[in-house]
């Protein structure tokens, strides 16, 4: 596995691959890798000739300085995991390589960027778009892999590619969960054993919502879900929403194409999760 830190070097790697007609699969991450990340890498490996995985904790997508500071970092362990997973290139740039000049652009990410996570975390999606677009320009992958765990982010990256006419296929990969149902996340490392137990109530609520979905509309499902979450000690709910999976808007009469989205804090750690309700 090559470890590359310089933007110019990964750009040259990409040019070489492209001149040899090799397809590049790209998996962007912020490190503290878990099986969810490794599933994206496995998908990239199965569909491309070369797999690049980046580890970069992007400051511009954190809307709280304390969250950026405490984000888990474990570069040596991560590099071992990437090597074992058969990644061809680990791209681990410094901030100055990614942002040689500060990026002050406001990206056009469509209506879905302004609501839900966009409203709760001002600037977050613009920061995500800024780093992903920069990586896409440097690495020029054929395909890029994103987890459906960050469902709204996945929709926004699809909009980024469409609105800026980037010639990259975006592949969405299913959520990997712990045996308890808890969606795997780097942030789970910040939870105590008790906290993890409490956090498994989030996915439990999603499962219960899904089992009731055929019989109820959005308002009733949201009420039931919120009641369940609020009854759990240690869960501080930010939102629990039933929305259309394409527009992320509520449609009270619909019983198709719905997704339940939630954000909650457990032990001060902000967790998100989601589940499709009608498939």
Task: Just list the catalytic residues.
Answer: 37
Which residues, including other chains, have CB under 8 Å from residue 259's CB and lie 6 or more apart?
151, 242, 243, 244, 245, 274, 275, 276, 277
Q: Which of 50, 54, 152, 185 binds ligand AMP (CB under 6 A)?
A: 185
Residue placing its CB nearer to ligand AMP in the complex, 37 or 124: 37
**Nearest distance from residue 61's CB to ligand AMP, in Å?**
9
- CA 271/CA 89 separation, integer angstroms: 29
* Contact by Cβ (8 Å): 154, 170: yes
Q: Does 150 bind ligand AMP (CB under 6 A)?
A: yes
Q: Which of 4, 166, 184, 228 binds ligand AMP (CB under 6 A)?
A: 184
Q: Does 160 bind ligand AMP (CB under 6 A)?
A: no
**Nearest distance from residue 255's CB to ligand AMP, in Å?**
27
Stretch that binds ligand AMP, among 34-42, 94-102, 197-205, 207-215 (CB under 6 A): 34-42
- CA 67/CA 164 separation, integer angstroms: 30
**Paired strand residues for 237:** 264
Q: Which of 4, 10, 24, 30 binds ligand AMP (CB under 6 A)?
A: 30
Q: Which of 176, 224, 238, 251 binds ligand AMP (CB under 6 A)?
A: 176
Residue placing its CB nearer to ligand AMP in the complex, 200 or 222: 200
Residue placing its CB nearer to ligand AMP in the complex, 143 or 218: 143
Q: Does 142 bind ligand AMP (CB under 6 A)?
A: no
Task: Give long-range contacts, CB 8 A cutoff, 24+ apart: 68-77.
Answer: 70/190, 71/30, 71/32, 71/186, 71/187, 72/31, 72/32, 72/186, 72/187, 72/189, 72/190, 73/31, 73/32, 74/31, 74/32, 75/31, 77/33
Q: Does 14 bind ligand AMP (CB under 6 A)?
A: no
The count of residues interacting with ligand AMP (CB under 6 A) is 17
**Nearest distance from residue 213's CB to ligand AMP, in Å?**
22
**Nearest distance from residue 81's CB to ligand AMP, in Å?**
12
Stretch that binds ligand AMP, among 64-72, 161-169, 178-186, 192-200 (CB under 6 A): 178-186
Q: Does 40 bind ligand AMP (CB under 6 A)?
A: yes
**Nearest distance from residue 154's CB to ligand AMP, in Å?**
7
Residue placing its CB nearer to ligand AMP in the complex, 14 or 186: 186
Residue placing its CB nearer to ligand AMP in the complex, 101 or 279: 279
**Interface with ligand AMP (CB under 6 A):** 29-30, 36-37, 39-40, 146-147, 149-150, 173, 175-176, 183-186
């Amino acid at each position: 596995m090559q470890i590359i830190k310089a933007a110019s070097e990964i750009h040259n790697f990409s040019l070489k691959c492209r001149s040899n007609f090799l397809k590049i699969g790209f998996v962007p991450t912020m490190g503290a890798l878990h099986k969810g990340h490794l599933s994206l890498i496995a998908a990239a490996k199965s569909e491309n000739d070369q797999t690049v995985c980046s580890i970069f904790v992007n400051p511009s997508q954190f809307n709280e300085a304390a969250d950026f500071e405490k984000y888990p970092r474990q570069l040596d362990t991560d590099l071992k995991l990437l090597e074992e997973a058969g990644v061809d290139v680990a791209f681990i740039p410094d901030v100055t390589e990614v942002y040689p000049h500060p990026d002050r652009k406001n990206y056009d990410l469509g209506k879905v960027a302004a609501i839900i996570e966009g409203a709760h975390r001002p600037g977050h999606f613009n920061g995500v778009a800024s780093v992903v677009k920069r990586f896409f320009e440097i690495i020029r992958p054929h395909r890029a892999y994103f987890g459906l765990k960050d469902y709204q982010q996945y929709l926004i990256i699809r909009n980024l590619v469409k609105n800026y006419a980037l010639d990259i296929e975006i592949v969405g990969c299913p959520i990997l969960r712990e045996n308890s149902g808890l969606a795997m996340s780097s942030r789970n490392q910040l939870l105590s054993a008790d906290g993890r137990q409490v956090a498994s109530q989030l996915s439990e609520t999603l499962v219960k919502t899904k089992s009731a979905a055929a019989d109820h509309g959005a308002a009733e499902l949201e009420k039931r879900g919120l009641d369940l979450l609020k009854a759990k000690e240690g869960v501080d709910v930010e939102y629990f929403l039933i929305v259309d999976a394409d527009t992320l808007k509520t449609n009270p009469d619909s019983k198709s194409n719905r997704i339940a989205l939630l954000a909650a804090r457990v032990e001060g750690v902000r967790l998100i999760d989601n589940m499709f309700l009608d498939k």
